């Protein structure tokens, strides 16, 4: 196909215009940078809208938000936090149950800005290949963080976690945290495509567990219109999540239920045939467009 | 047969992959564990905020959110950077740079969402951030005979946490040294003494309690304490001590050396050893 000569999404740009083909990407970047700025305007200008960091934050003196992964590590290490931390966790888990577990990765996490840049550069420079590592490694690492935390009685992972290191570093002072971030950037650029976020990061793995139940999903009401241009595969950071829903493998319904979908919405942007859109896990409202007889989304 | 072969092949591949995964993750876990254990010890210059749990619990309870740092009105707290030799992201202050100002409402503790800073601490004077130790007698100005007294004067728990204990100045033979003595049951470890110490490198320093404090063996009993508790001696009854003195002299425990009453008027005795020429003579 001629489209294979073009960059992924080029057809969508022709079809929908540049803005239409970058809508979700732009919204996502605004969200990532906006959230970061909310944390930064305090230390920068003394406008204390949000205090703290992604582990725990306190907004306008009323809203506590706690990272459930950190809190669980603390519990496993043998400490029971205050009620306010649990309220924060309930709010955060509730939010991600509504909007998709790993939407944390795509819409909030500051490391995603780094790894996306590495991925973009990798594609631009035409760097290919790299070791094959199972995407389930992250779950083993996730388990290891709990085991080590329990054995040492510390929140061991938080001493190494590049996600909190970068976010905390930007707000409270980087120190050598930039070296860790650079290492991840170089790893994703030269060694493995989507290496960190797509294979190793236990934070993403944890949020994907919430994502198993979350409400907001990518739906494919138009999947029959797919012309196999492969642009969605090319841009998707978790390529394995698309195929079952797109190709109705084993009668999968037109919705991406894979918990590792980050709800980044890039597939919506780059698809010139408008196959994808955001919807609900059990949204029956697109059955008139599905056209896959007998496909019953659970 | 070929399917059977490929099945054993794929099974072998599965086993190899699993082993590889297990090894990789175990190595990662081991490294993380060693690092975590290593980082559990607090370096001597780093003092935790008031109310901090003992270090072993602290590194499990603190989620590194930095709220204590934000709510400290004097900006003395920092979060440890990855290269610093302690648990990354945990809060500390360095007394020599900026000591704890001992806010009465203890905002840092109130801000803590996890209890890593114990909310049970409501009186800042009861906090146990560390203990001041007069580490260097040789440079302490009071030890050298000056009336510096700065550590004593700046101490928020003056006369309890630091007292000035008089000792005779052996060098001059006629002056008093006012020795700063820290009492760990009252010292909060705020570090004001270390900050204020005028020597080039502080002669009095605050250390984490585990570093500063010794501990008696559990079976040790202080005889005089036990005696007071019991109301009488618990061992053999005290015997009246008898002194063998030169003729014409007598010695009483609380009065010191004196002459037997019918003697010439008191005053310095020319032939007496220097050590005996005190106020008590």
A57: which chain B residues are within 8 Å (Cβ-Cβ)? 65
In this prediction the pTM is 0.81
Q: Which of B26, B39, B64 has the highest number of chain A CBs within 10 A, making it the mutation to test binding with A?
A: B64
pLDDT of residue A86: 93
Phi first, then psi: give them for residue A157, nearest 5 degrees.
Answer: -60, -30
A176 interfacial to chain B (CB closer than 8 Å): yes
Give yes or no: residues B185 and B137 share one domain. Answer: yes
**pLDDT tens over chain A, length 298 residues:** 444 457 888 888 888 889 989 999 999 999 999 999 999 999 999 899 999 999 999 999 889 999 999 999 999 998 898 889 999 999 999 999 999 889 999 999 999 999 999 999 998 898 888 888 888 899 999 999 999 999 988 888 988 899 999 999 999 988 888 999 999 999 999 999 999 999 999 999 999 999 899 999 999 988 888 888 888 998 999 989 998 888 888 888 888 988 999 999 999 999 998 899 999 988 654 444 433 433 444 3
What are the domain boundaries of chain A?
25-210, 215-281
Distance CA(A261)–CA(B206), nearest Å, equals: 51
Distance CA(A154)–CA(A77), nearest Å, equals: 5
**Half-sphere CA count of A131, side-chain side, radius 13 A:** 11
Q: Is B242 helix (H, G, I), strand (E, B) or coil?
A: coil
pLDDT of residue B42: 73
Top pLDDT among B269 and A280 is at A280
Cα dihedral B240, B245, B251, B256, rounded to 10, equals -130
Q: Are A157 and A148 in contact (CB under 8 A)?
A: yes
Q: Is B256 helix (H, G, I), strand (E, B) or coil?
A: strand
- % pLDDT > 90, chain B: 52
pLDDT of residue B40: 65
Run of H or E residues at B18: helix B2-38
pLDDT of residue B275: 56
Other C-beta atoms closer than 10 Å to the C-beta of B97 total 12
As given in the structure block, the two tokens for residue A80 are: 């029971």
Q: β-strands B162-169, B175-182: how paired?
A: antiparallel
- Among the partner residues B21, B69, B88, nearest to A134 by beta-carbon distance: B21
B172: CATH: 3.30.70.20
Distance CA(A266)–CA(A273), nearest Å, equals: 14
What average pLDDT does the structure give for chain B? 86
CA nearest neighbour of A70 among A87, A53, A56: A56
Domain assignment of residue B242, yes or no: no
Give yes or no: residues B137 and B105 share one domain. Answer: no
Domain count, chain B: 2
Q: Are B256 and B281 in contact (CB under 8 A)?
A: yes
Distance CA(A206)–CA(A16), nearest Å, equals: 36
Give yes or no: residues B117 and B58 share one domain. Answer: yes
Domain assignment of residue B164, yes or no: yes
Q: What distances in angstroms separate CA B182 from CA B125, B144, B168, B213, one per listed residue?
A: 15, 18, 19, 11
Interchain CB distance below 8 Å, B66 and A171: yes
Domain assignment of residue B82, yes or no: yes
Q: How far does chain A reach from its first CA to its final CA, in angstroms?
A: 35
CA nearest neighbour of A147 among A76, A72, A205, A67: A76
CA nearest neighbour of A105 among A23, A205, A26: A205
pLDDT of residue B1: 45
Chain segment B15-24, per-residue pLDDT in tens: 888 888 888 8
**Mean pLDDT value of segment B256-268:** 66
Domain assignment of residue B148, yes or no: yes
Taking the CA of residue A82 and the nearest CA in chain B, the distance in Å comes to 5
Q: Are A133 and A192 in contact (CB under 8 A)?
A: yes
- Topology of domain A215-281 in CATH is Alpha-Beta Plaits (3.30.70)
Distance CA(B262)–CA(A29), nearest Å, equals: 102
Lowest mean pLDDT among A5-14, A134-143, B58-67, B222-231: A5-14
Give yes or no: residues B113 and B49 share one domain. Answer: yes
Give yes or no: residues B139 and B119 share one domain. Answer: no
Q: β-strands A63-66, A216-219: how paired?
A: unpaired
**Mean pLDDT value of segment B226-249:** 80
Distance CA(B62)–CA(B89), nearest Å, equals: 9
Top pLDDT among B236 and B86 is at B86
Q: What distances in angstroms separate CA A255 from CA A15, A220, A248, A296, B266, one per listed residue?
A: 24, 6, 10, 10, 108
Domain assignment of residue B182, yes or no: yes
Pure H helices in chain A: 10-20, 23-45, 68-76, 83-99, 103-107, 111-125, 137-152, 162-172, 177-186, 195, 202-211, 231-235, 242-246, 266-270, 287-290
B40: which chain A residues are within 8 Å (Cβ-Cβ)? 152, 154
pLDDT of residue B19: 83
**Structural domain ending residue among the three candidates B155, B190, B214:** B214
Interchain CB distance below 8 Å, A51 and B71: yes
Distance CA(B113)–CA(A85), nearest Å, equals: 5
Distance CA(B75)–CA(B188), nearest Å, equals: 19
- Among the partner residues B78, B81, B113, nearest to A64 by beta-carbon distance: B113
**Structural domain ending residue among the three candidates B214, B237, B262:** B214
Domain assignment of residue B268, yes or no: no
Q: How far does chain B reach from its first CA to its final CA, in angstroms?
A: 112
Cα B26 to chain centroid distance, Å, stands at 38
Domain assignment of residue B263, yes or no: no
Domain assignment of residue B199, yes or no: yes
Give the orientation angle of helix A68-76 with respect to helix A202-211, to 10 degrees: 110
A3 interfacial to chain B (CB closer than 8 Å): no
Domain span including residue B169: 131-214
For residue A213, is it left (φ>0), alpha (ψ between -120 and 50) or beta?
A: alpha
Q: Which residues of B touch A (CB under 8 A)?
A: 17, 21-22, 24-26, 28-29, 32-33, 35-37, 39-40, 56-57, 59-67, 69-71, 78-79, 81-84, 87-89, 111-116, 119
Taking the CA of residue A48 and the nearest CA in chain B, the distance in Å comes to 10
**Structural domain ending residue among the three candidates B174, B190, B214:** B214
Rounded to 5°, angle at Cα A27 from A26 and A29 = 65
Top pLDDT among B163 and B42 is at B163
Res. B3 pLDDT band, cuts 50 70 90: low
pLDDT value at B240 more than 80: no
pLDDT value at B280 more than 60: no
CA nearest neighbour of B94 among B26, B45, B144: B45
Interchain CB distance below 8 Å, B78 and A160: no
Per DSSP, what are the bridge partners of residue B52?
A: B117
Q: What distances in angstroms separate CA A67 from CA A56, A87, A163, A278, one per listed residue?
A: 6, 11, 12, 25
Cβ-based neighbours of A256, under 8 Å, separated by 6 or more? A217, A218, A219, A220, A241, A242, A244, A245
Cβ-based neighbours of A242, under 8 Å, separated by 6 or more? A232, A233, A236, A256, A267
Top pLDDT among B190 and B29 is at B190
Residues 56-75 of A with CB under 8 A from B: 56-58, 64, 66-67, 70-71, 74
């Amino acid at each position: 196909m001629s489209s294979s000569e073009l960059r992924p999404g080029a057809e969508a740009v022709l079809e929908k215009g540049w803005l239409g083909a970058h809508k979700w990407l732009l919204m996502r970047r605004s969200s990532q940078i906006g959230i970061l700025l909310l944390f930064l305007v305090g230390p920068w200008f003394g406008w204390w809208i949000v205090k703290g960091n992604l582990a725990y934050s306190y907004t306008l003196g009323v809203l506590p938000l706690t990272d459930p992964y950190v809190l669980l590590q603390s519990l496993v290490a043998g400490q029971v936090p205050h009620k306010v931390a649990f309220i924060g966790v309930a709010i955060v888990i509730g939010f991600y149950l509504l909007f998709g577990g790993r939407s944390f990765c795509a819409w909030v996490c500051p490391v995603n800005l780094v790894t996306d840049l590495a991925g973009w550069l990798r594609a631009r420079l035409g760097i290919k290949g790299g070791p094959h590592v199972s995407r389930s490694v992250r779950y083993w690492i996730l388990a290891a963080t709990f085991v080590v935390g329990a054995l040492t009685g510390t929140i061991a992972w938080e001493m190494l976690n590049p996600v909190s290191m970068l976010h905390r570093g930007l707000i409270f002072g980087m120190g050598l945290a930039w070296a860790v971030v650079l290492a991840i950037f170089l790893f994703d650029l030269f060694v493995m495509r989507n290496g960190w976020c797509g294979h190793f990061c236990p934070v993403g793995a944890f949020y994907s567990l919430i994502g198993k139940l979350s409400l907001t999903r990518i739906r494919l009401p138009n999947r029959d219109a797919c012309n196999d241009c492969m642009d969605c595969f090319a841009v998707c950071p978790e390529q394995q999540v698309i195929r079952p829903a797109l190709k109705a493998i084993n009668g999968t319904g037109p919705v991406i239920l894979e918990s590792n979908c980050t709800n980044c919405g890039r597939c919506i942007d780059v698809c010139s045939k408008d196959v994808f859109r955001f919807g609900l896990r059990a949204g029956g409202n697109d059955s008139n467009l599905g056209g896959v007889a007998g496909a019953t989304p659970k | 047969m070929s399917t059977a072969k490929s099945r054993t092949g794929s099974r072998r591949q599965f086993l190899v992959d699993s082993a590889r995964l297990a090894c990789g993750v175990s190595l990662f876990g081991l490294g993380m564990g060693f690092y975590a254990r290593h980082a559990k010890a607090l370096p001597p210059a780093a003092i935790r905020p008031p109310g901090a749990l003992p270090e072993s619990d602290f590194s499990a309870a603190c989620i590194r959110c930095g709220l204590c740092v934000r709510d400290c009105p004097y900006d003395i707290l920092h979060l440890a950077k990855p290269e610093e030799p302690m648990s990354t992201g945990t809060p500390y202050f360095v007394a020599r740079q900026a000591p704890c100002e001992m806010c009465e409402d203890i905002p840092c503790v109130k801000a803590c969402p996890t209890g890593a800073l114990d909310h049970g601490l409501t009186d800042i004077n009861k906090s146990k951030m560390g203990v001041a130790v007069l580490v260097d007698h040789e440079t302490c100005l009071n030890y050298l005979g000056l009336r510096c007294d700065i550590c004593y004067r700046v101490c928020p728990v003056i006369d309890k946490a630091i007292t000035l204990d008089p000792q005779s100045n052996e060098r001059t033979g006629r002056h008093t040294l006012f020795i700063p003595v820290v009492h760990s049951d009252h010292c909060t470890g705020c570090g004001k003494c270390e900050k204020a110490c005028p020597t080039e490198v502080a002669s009095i320093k605050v250390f984490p309690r585990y570093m500063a404090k010794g501990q008696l063996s559990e079976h040790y009993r202080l005889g005089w304490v036990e005696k007071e508790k019991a109301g009488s001696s618990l061992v053999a009854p005290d015997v009246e001590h008898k002194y063998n003195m030169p003729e014409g002299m007598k010695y009483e425990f609380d009065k010191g050396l004196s002459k037997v009453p019918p003697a010439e008027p008191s005053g310095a005795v020319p032939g007496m050893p220097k050590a005996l020429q005190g106020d008590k003579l």
